[in-house]
Amino acid sequence: MQLVAENLTLSRGGRTIFDGLSLRVGAGEALVLTGPNGSGKTTLLRALAGFLRPDAGTIRVPGEEHEPAELSHFVGHLEGVKAHLTVRENLTFWADYLDGSSSIDVGAALKRFALAGLEDIPAGYLSAGQKRRLALARIVVAKRPIWLLDEPTVSLDTASVALLMAAIEEHLAGGGLTVIATHVGLGLANERSLQIVGAKAAAQ
């Protein structure tokens, strides 16, 4: 599987963010987007996720009948957590929404992100780090081959970052791919970076 973007032109608020950007991410590969705040990392991720329509260019998964958005998890700056639902209810909602399969193991996702024991607590009472782990847990509660993660380590302590990195490495080892916007080094095994400066991007 590959995620391919070709000759993308993206704009926000009448300002061109990217012009003629192309990238390709293969199975088992992590593409890390780097660059200063406002350079367009989030805009690019949202376009790959199908939330923004490019002014020009294409985003596709060759050989797949589904649109990239249907094959992707997107975790952005907003957690997408419903404060009045419990931790388990939040994950169950995402499992039903994203997968609809009765085989989903919510308990395994809770353990993966160190949320076991918090299942019955309303999400509104969680700390910032716990809410972030809950938001990230949906990437494993429903299986999708493309993970699009925007600053996923925000609010996470060292132990929680390690849990996330382990989940990403397992995803890549299973043939998945991921695009990650971040300001911190990740050190993933099969990682390459794309530095974004203004409307330009340079592979590293």
Q: What is the mean pLDDT of residues 81-89?
A: 96
Token pair 């987007």 is found at 33
Phi (first) and psi of residue 104, to 5 degrees: -65, 130
Task: Give me the chain's average pLDDT, please.
Answer: 91
- For residue 204, the model assigns a pLDDT of 42
Beta-sheet pairing, 146-150 with 200-203: unpaired
**Of 75, 83, 92, residue with least CA distance to 139:** 75
List domains and CATH numbers for the chain: 2-203 (3.40.50.300)
pLDDT in tens, 108-157: 899 999 999 999 999 999 999 999 999 999 999 888 999 999 999 999 99
**158: number of Cβ within 10 Å:** 7
pTM recorded for the entire structure:
0.92
Q: Is 44 helix (H, G, I), strand (E, B) or coil?
A: helix
